[in-house]
Structure 1
Amino acid sequence: MLALRPVQLTDLPQLQQLARDSLVGVTSLPDDTERLREKILDSCASFAADVQNPGGENYFFVLQDLVSGRLVGCSEILASTGCNEPFYSLRNRPFSSESRELNIQHGVPALSLCQDLNGQTLLRGFHIDAERVRTPESELLSRARLLFIAAHPQRFAESVITEIVGFSSEDGQSPFWDAIGQHFFDLPYTEAERLCGLQSRTFLAELMPQYPIYVPMLPAAAQACIGRVHPDGQEAFDILEREGFETNNYVDIFDGGPTLHARIANIRSITQSRIAVARQAPQIDARGRYLVSNDGLGNYRAIVVELDVNAEGPLAVPPDGLAALGVRDGERVRVVAL
């Protein structure tokens, strides 16, 4: 059985291996021992903090095989963007011009550097082993974060966003970066993303052009990257789209990947999950797969398990499921259909 839980400092060696295997563009998972150590300690402090309003807290989760102890994935929640550093995006909207004399009005698509998305909760750092892509475990890794938000709403904003990794070729070339960022930094895309993971996006973003970039003036290959998802990022996109997330007019400043957003009130795993009393049941006539979590903080756990769930009444859970969740017979859990 796999369980999602908060990261611990002892996870560092395995976490670094996950970082080595992660997709270029997942800058929140750097392949650097000291940076990862800082992220783990920051996450531990966030889980331990008494929080009444969202701030710069970062909640880092790992997906662990409970039999082997091996980590097979990780994901994060940043409580509120823009608290510790500005959160930059490119706003993709038409720039309108008109000539009254000629009676012509024209809108030209333009990308503008902005901080419009400050103050929103950010899902990031999604990575899972290749052999578990498009399995229930991927759903667990992504959606269990939403159950955590449902359990602790005071810690998060009223809207949630995520940046999906944009297109790059197998050899690490990004047409979008080559058309824009390359001219300002003289760095290849992979190196720019590596620096963002080790330090901050801010110092690179502040060197980006401050004036609108007219999309028709970009090469066709770069234009095609705007809002385009990297093939290996498609699953992360699909899971959240099924949750009610939608694309908006913002894209990533480096690779042009899309940004998804949703109001808390419209997110399926939050609105459709319910609290139930867990009852130990050695045998269950399972009718479907469900995502189940406790409502803890530092002891938060979430699993996928086959259950027979009724609309009301207690929830029959097998003994290994209760053990994985760290709950006892008669304690409360949160459940939603997979």
Structure 2
Amino acid sequence: MLVIRPIEQRDFPALKLIAIESGHGFTSLPVNDELLQNKINHSEASFRSRPAAKGEHLYFFVAEDTETGEVVGTTALDAAVGLSSPFYTYLLGKQVHSSPKLGIYNVVETLTLTNDYTGVSELCTLFLREQARQGLNGRLLSKCRFLFLAEFSELFDRRVLAEMRGVSDDNGNSPFWSWLQEHFFSMDFPTVDYLTGIGQKGFIADLMPKYPIYVNLLSKEARSVIGKTHDKTRPALRLLEEEGFAWRGYVDIFDAGPSVECDLKHIRSVHNSRRLTVQIGHPVHTSKYLVSNTHFSSFRALIGELAINEEKAQAVITREVACLLKVEDGDTIRVVEIG
């Protein structure tokens, strides 16, 4: 069984291994010891004392195998992006060129550089190691964040986004970036991906085209991947779409992968989750639920079997599940059907 918990200092070796395995295009986990350590430090500081409101806080979680103690995945919530350094996206839009006198009316697509997501909360750093990609593990890793969002909604923006990795090959070559590189930059995609991951984003403002790019001027290969998702990221996108996330035309400035978003209160697992009182016992007529405790700094989440007593608003769980969630009789948990 996997249990989700906040990252700790002892998880650094596992985090570095995951960063290596995640490959090109996974900007939020650069293979850089200092930056990875900073993420752990940032998350620990965010969890140390519950903030009064939304701010530049990172809530970084790991998935731990309860049998082996091995960390097999990561997932995170960035409470507000773009506050201390710009958060860039392209917005796919339209411009009309018309001349009634000549009888000409043309609609062309454009890509405009924006900072529209400044202050928005982000789902990020979702990665499950290959040996753990089975059963409901992927759902747990993705959806556990929604129980945290539901329980501590005051710490997050009303809008929640997720950047999906765009199309690139095994060597890190991105068709979209190849066109940008040819016309505006002199760096390959792995290099620019790494620089962004370590926070060196100044070159974006310096070198990115300042005016809208006409999509029809891009290469056929670049046009074909706008808003498209990397093969390995499609399962994650499907899980988010189940929750109500949708693409509204924003794409990554490097690989043109889609950014999907949803109002926090409209996220299915946020809206449908509920608090129940714990009763430790031997549940019968059980169903699988995504379940978490309601603790902040010692947050835990898992997928487990439980029985619900609707009349008493109680969840009957086993002693084993209670121990993993760090709860006792009479405590409160948050549950939602896993779907």
TM range (shorter): over 0.9
8 Å CA contact retained: 1:179, 1:218: yes
Question: 1:298 is aligned with what amino acid?
Answer: S
Distance 2:336 2:123 in 1: 19
Could you state the TM-score of these two structures normalised by the residue count of structure 2? Answer: 0.95
For residue 284 of structure 1, what is the amino acid of its counterpart? P
Count of matched residue pairs: 337
CA distance in 2, matches of 1:275, 1:293: 10
Q: Contact 1:286–1:306 (CA<8 Å) still a contact in 2?
A: no
Distance 1:315 1:202, change over 3 A: farther
Q: In the alignment, what sits opposite 1:28?
A: 28
Give the ranges of 4+ consecutive aligned residues of structure 1 lying more than 6 Å apart after TM superposition.
none
**Unmatched runs of 5 consecutive residues or more in structure 2:** none
Unmatched segments (≥5 aa) in structure 1: none
Distance across 2 between alignment mates of 1:203 and 1:263 = 32
1:174 is matched with 174
- The change in CA–CA distance for 1:182 and 1:297 in structure 2 (over 3 A counts) is farther
Alignment of 1:197-216 (within 5 A): 197-216=197-216
2:243 paired residue number: 243
Residue equivalent to 2:287: 288
Q: How much has 1:289 moved relative to structure 2?
A: 1.6
CA contact (8 A) 2:143 2:269 kept: yes
Cα distance in 2 between the residues matched to 1:154 and 1:178: 41
For residues 314 and 181 of structure 1, the distance between their equivalents in structure 2, rounded to whole angstroms, comes to 58
What amino acid does structure 2 have at the position aligned with 1:21? E
Query: What secondary structure is seen at the aligned counterpart in 1 of 2:165?
Result: coil
What code does the residue aligned with 1:325 have? L
The answer to whether the 8 A contact 2:49-2:297 is kept is: no
1:48 Cα deviation after fit: 2.1
SS in 1 for 2:87: coil
SS at match of 1:95: strand
In the TM superposition, what is the alpha-carbon distance from 1:132 to its structure 2 partner?
A: 2.9
Conservation of the 8 A alpha-carbon contact between 2:50 and 2:296:
no
Instruction: Show the 5 A alignment for 1:144-293.
Output: 144-281=144-281, 283-293=282-292
CA distance in 2, matches of 1:265, 1:163: 19
Q: What is residue 299 of structure 2 aligned with on the other side? A: 300
Paired AA for residue 83 in structure 2 = C
Alpha-carbon spacing, 1:311–1:258, altered in 2? closer, same or farther (3 Å): farther
TM-score if structure 1 supplies the norm length?
0.95
Deviation at 1:205, TM superposition (A): 4.8
Aligned-partner Cα distance in 2 for 1:334–1:49: 21
Which range moved further: 102-111 or 86-95? Answer: 102-111
Q: Does 1:59 align with 2:68?
A: no
Shift of 1:185: 2.7
Which one-letter code corresponds to 2:316 in the other structure? Answer: A
Match for residue 326 of structure 1? 326
Tell me the CA shift for residue 182 of structure 1: 4.7
Residues 180 and 134 of structure 1: CA distance in aligned 2, closer, same or farther (over 3 Å)? farther
Identity %: 35
What are the Cα deviations for residues 205-264 of structure 1, in whole angstroms up to 9, with x where unaligned?
Answer: 542111111111111111111010101001110111000101111000000001101001
Residue matched to 2:94: 94
CA distance in 1, matches of 2:181, 2:287: 47
